[in-house]
């Protein structure tokens, strides 16, 4: 079958280190941490008191009060990131058939804020059932995809992907496959998460998954460092406009990069822990490179899943070495989670955006907060502490989720 080529023509983001793509990219290159003490609620009783929250975000700067009240924060974040990406791609009615433009959006948790507040209100009222009529529409994970399509009149494929921390990477993969099969001309794909809430911090803390370096939030997320003690929870969104290449060229769109392949796999191992030898990661990366039609030795850069957890940060490099052999040490790996924190279901889209920018700009953001080598981690080039200029022709972006969900996205220069 003659598959169509898929390119990235627009980017949008709202992250703990910047409220636009340009702000986020500048912060990533400068090694800026988005971590600080939690302000969304009183975290004094929690073991973990830190998170990567958005900075200077005011929903009323984007929506009127009535509109804002109808949306959970995760939907607000998603609509904002999608708007930036759509404007960046100059995707307007003059250039598109709305029946062939879709929205595929990922979220691992959906409306956590809404769920928690409504249930707390129910209990505090003495179990009086005065629920908001917007409770269910704000809560459901698919609503953000619907809201974006309603705002722009996009009538193509429209759904939500849920695969824990791989959710938005799955959204991008699904969009890629639909476009190259000729089912759509363009799809806005990405993800959003707004899980810095009591229930999330409490739940992840009880699993001992979160860093408790409360006295130094900015150094708490330290992927691949010997003294890492867990991830730092983040919030935000990112969006990519994926478009069939000939459709993009015909309307004179700028092209950031080509999405040339994807690989999906399952660890089939454990509910929360990654496979100790990185089997699922190995399979996903192998499949992505094969799907792209490239060679393993063509890969210049990998934006790793790299969460700063004791097990995951060991298994992923093992998979890299097993797959790439001697070539593994020639690549630049990094983890932008060292700066943004872990955005859960939105992480894959944020890191895909950063990977695309690395290809476009020829510079790889650092993995900050590296102080001590871990003898249990393969000695690869993790681009520690300082950005590195490099001509990036072909790069991978990894996203792995609880349940053993693995996704690898392969991007390359458009040529």
Strand blocks (E) in 171-318: 186-193, 236-244, 257-266, 301-303
Taking alpha carbons only, the member of 207, 206, 204 closest to residue 232 is: 204
* Cross-strand pairs, 363: 389
How far is it, in rounded angstroms, from Cα 130 to Cα 119? 10
CB 144 within 8 A of CB 74: yes
Residue 338 structure tokens: 């060292």
Angle at 141 between CA 183 and CA 83, to 5 degrees: 65
342 catalytically annotated: yes
Active site residue 165: yes
Question: Considering 301, 305, 370, 405, which one is annotated as catalytic?
Answer: 305
Question: What φ, ψ does residue 98 adopt, rounded to 5°?
Answer: -60, -20
- Residue 301 β-bridge partners: 332, 395
Annotated catalytic residue within 247, 301, 342, 370: 342
Sequence length of the chain is: 415
Rg (CA), the chain: 20
The 3-state DSSP class for residue 132 equals coil
Contact between 195 and 235 (Cβ < 8 Å): yes
Distance CA 76, CA 147 (A): 9
The answer to whether the CB of 89 falls within 8 A of the CB of 241 is: yes
- Residue 119, token pair as written in the block: 């249930």
- Least Cα distance to 345 among 133, 120, 161 occurs for 161
From the list 48, 52, 165, 408, the catalytic residue is 165
CB atoms within 10 A of CB 61: 10
The CA-CA-CA angle for residues 306, 399, 338, to 5°, reads 30
Helical (H) or strand (E) element with 10: strand 6-14
Tokens representing residue 164 in the block: 């824990």
Q: Contact at 8 Å (CB) between 41 and 197?
A: yes
Strands 332-334 and 301-303: parallel
Select from 289, 275, 367 the least CA-distant residue to 324: 289
At 406, phi and psi to the nearest 5? Answer: -130, 135
Q: Which residues are catalytic?
A: 165, 305, 342
């Amino acid at each position: 079958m003659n598959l169509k080529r898929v390119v990235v023509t627009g980017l949008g983001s709202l992250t703990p280190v910047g409220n636009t793509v340009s702000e986020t990219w500048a912060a990533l290159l400068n090694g800026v941490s988005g971590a600080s003490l939690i302000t969304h609620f009183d975290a004094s009783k929690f073991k973990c008191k830190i998170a990567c929250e958005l900075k200077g975000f005011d929903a009323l700067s984007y929506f009127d009060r009535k509109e804002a009240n109808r949306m959970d924060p995760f939907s607000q974040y998603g609509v904002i990131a999608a708007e930036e990406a759509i404007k960046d791609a100059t995707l307007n009615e003059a250039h598109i058939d709305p029946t062939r433009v879709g929205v595929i959006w990922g979220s691992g948790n959906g409306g956590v804020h809404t769920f928690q507040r409504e249930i707390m209100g129910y209990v505090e009222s003495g179990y009086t059932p005065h629920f908001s009529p917007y409770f269910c529409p704000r809560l459901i994970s698919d609503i953000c995809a619907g809201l974006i399509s309603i705002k722009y009149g996009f009538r193509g494929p429209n759904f939500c992907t849920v695969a824990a921390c791989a959710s938005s990477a799955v959204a991008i993969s699904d969009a890629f496959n639909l476009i190259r099969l000729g089912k759509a001309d363009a799809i806005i794909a990405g993800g959003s998460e707004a899980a810095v809430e009591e229930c999330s911090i409490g739940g992840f803390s009880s699993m001992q998954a979160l860093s408790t370096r409360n006295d130094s939030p900015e150094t708490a997320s330290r992927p691949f460092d010997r003294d890492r003690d867990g991830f730092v929870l983040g919030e935000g969104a990112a969006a990519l406009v994926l478009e069939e290449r000939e459709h993009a060229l015909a309307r004179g769109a700028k092209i950031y990069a080509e999405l040339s392949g994807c690989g999906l796999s399952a660890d089939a191992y454990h509910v929360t822990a990654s496979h100790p030898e990185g089997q699922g990661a190995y399979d996903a990366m192998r499949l992505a490179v094969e799907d792209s039609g490239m060679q393993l030795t063509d890969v210049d850069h990998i934006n790793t899943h790299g969460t700063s957890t004791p097990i995951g940060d060991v298994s992923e490099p093992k998979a890299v070495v097993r797959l790439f052999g001697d070539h593994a040490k020639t690549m630049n790996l990094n983890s932008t989670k060292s700066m943004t924190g872990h955005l859960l279901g939105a992480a894959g889209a944020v890191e895909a955006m950063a990977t695309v920018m690395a290809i476009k700009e020829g510079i790889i953001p650092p993995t900050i907060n590296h102080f001590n080598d871990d003898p249990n981690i393969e000695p690869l080039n993790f681009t520690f502490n300082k950005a590195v200029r490099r001509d990036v022709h072909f790069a991978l972006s990894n996203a792995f989720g609880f349940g053993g969900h693995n996704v690898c996205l392969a991007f390359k220069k458009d040529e």
